[in-house]
Amino acid sequence: MANVFRKRTKHSIFSWDGLGDIAEGRKNLGPEVPVFIYRLLQYTLLDVLTTKYGQQDADDLFRKAGYMAGKALTENALDIHKSIDEFISELQKYLKDNKIGVLKIESFDEKGLNFFLTIGEDLDCSGLKPTNEVVCFYDEGFIQGIMEAYTGKKFMVKEVDCWANGDRVCRFKGCQV
């Protein structure tokens, strides 16, 4: 029987180019998939990581993956040379157009780089039954990666409200560290 497990190769290490030519590869099906398929991948992967490493480490791994994604997305799909207002406007449009979520800025201190923002209809948890917990660790990292790629400064991002704890949007607090 052939070994179904292979050694890690350069193809299994993340790079933006490694995402491939989706238009070429999915000529008939197109680039979109239903949210439940995204969540099926996310929640089964989180379950495997939690079983192997424990909840805290699994959450940290998801946060790190989100960070990588946010940073790569910003560096490859957004214009980091725009003013903060123009950048946020572009980010809002990108997230909505790609059906990632509806971003709203509640407050943003340009001097101290502190902010509160919400993401409605997000991929990770909108529509979940309340469990009285915040669950969007991937999104915490995603937002951190976006902000760090745009500003070149380090950030800390924490989810303070979540659909999973009974709210209708996910709310995040961010600050420069």
pLDDT tens, position by position, 27-39: 999 999 999 999 9
Question: Is residue 137 assigned to a domain?
Answer: yes
Question: Is residue 150 assigned to a domain?
Answer: yes
Share of the chain above pLDDT 90, in %: 89
- Specify the higher pLDDT residue, 1 or 122: 122
In this prediction, residue 52 carries a pLDDT of 98
Please list the alpha-helical segments (H only) found in the chain.
22-25, 35-53, 55-77, 84-97, 137-151
Question: Is residue 142 assigned to a domain?
Answer: yes
CA–CA dist 31, 69 (Å, integer): 17
Task: Give the domain extent around 114.
Answer: 22-176
In this prediction, residue 1 carries a pLDDT of 46
Question: Is residue 33 assigned to a domain?
Answer: yes
The enclosing domain of 67 has a CATH number of 3.30.1380.20
What lies within 8 Å, CB to CB, of 172 at 6+ separation is 116, 117, 118, 119, 136, 139, 140, 143, 157, 158, 159, 160
> Residue 158 — φ and ψ, nearest 5°?
-130, 140
Q: What is the pLDDT of residues 107-152, one digit of tens each?
A: 999 898 999 999 999 999 999 999 999 999 999 999 999 999 999 9
- Specify the higher pLDDT residue, 112 or 72: 72
Instruction: Examine the pLDDT at 43 and tell me if it is beyond 80.
Output: yes
CA–CA dist 147, 75 (Å, integer): 11
3-state secondary structure of 96: helix
In this prediction, residue 143 carries a pLDDT of 98
Question: Is residue 1 assigned to a domain?
Answer: no
Instruction: Examine the pLDDT at 13 and tell me if it is beyond 80.
Output: yes
The structural domain count of the chain equals 1
Question: Is residue 89 assigned to a domain?
Answer: yes
CA–CA dist 173, 54 (Å, integer): 25
Length of the chain: 177
Averaged pLDDT, 66-80: 98
Question: Is residue 12 assigned to a domain?
Answer: no
Averaged pLDDT, 77-82: 98
CB atoms within 10 A of CB 92: 16
> With a threshold of 0.95, does the pTM exceed it?
no
Question: Is residue 108 assigned to a domain?
Answer: yes
